[in-house]
Structure 1
Amino acid sequence: MIPFENTWPYERIGQDVYVTSCPFCHAANVLLPLKLKDLSELREGVKKLLVFPCCRNKETLVDADQDYLLAGRPLRRYGKE
C-alpha cells in the first residue's frame, strides 16, 4: 500500500506540470521542471530528483499516477497540504 503522506497532487496543462502549492514553502501554482516524458518514466520505475524552483528544496520522486507524485519520504504534515 502506498503511504498517503508521501504523495502530493499535481496538475497538467498542455506540456506543463505544476503543483497548486509547494509542500515546503507553500508557494502557489509552482511550475515544476518536469515534462510528460518524465512522468511516464516515473511510472516505469525510474526515480527522478525534483528541485522545486520556488525554494530549491529537493525531493526524490519514486512514482507517479494521473493525479499524484509519490516521494521517497513524507511530504504532508498532518492538518496541512
Structure 2
Amino acid sequence: MIPLRNCLPYDIIMNDVFVQECPFCKRSNVLIPLKPNDIKDMYGGARKIMLVFPCCHGSLRLIDADQDYLLANRPIRGK
C-alpha cells in the first residue's frame, strides 16, 4: 500500500507541471521544473528525480509517479 503522506498531487496544464501546494512554504499553484515526459519516465519507479521547488528551494527525491501523484521517498504531508 502506498502511503498517501508521501504523495504530492500534480496537474499538467499546457505542457507545464504544477503542484497544488508546496509542501515546504505552502505556496499555492507552484510551477515545478519537470516536463510531462519526465513524469512518464518515472512511472513504475523506472527513474528517480531530485525535485527542487523554485519558490523556497526545498527539495524532494521523487521515486515514482502515476497519472495523479508524485511519490517521494519521505513523508511530505500531514496525516
Instruction: Please state which band the TM-score falls in when normalised by the shorter chain.
Output: over 0.9
Partner of 1:64: 65
Q: Percent identity?
A: 53
- Matched length: 78
- AA aligned to 2:73 is G
Large movers: runs of 4+ above 3 Å = none
Secondary structure of 2:63's aligned partner? strand
CA RMSD of aligned residues (A): 0.9
Partner of 2:15: 15
Output the TM-score relative to the length of structure 2: 0.93
Structure 2: give runs of 5+ residues left out of the alignment.
none
Quote the offset at 1:63 in angstroms.
0.7
Partner deviation per Cα, 1:19-59 (whole Å, 9 max, x = no partner): 11101100111000000111011115100000000000010
**d(CA) in 1 for partners of 2:59, 2:6:** 14
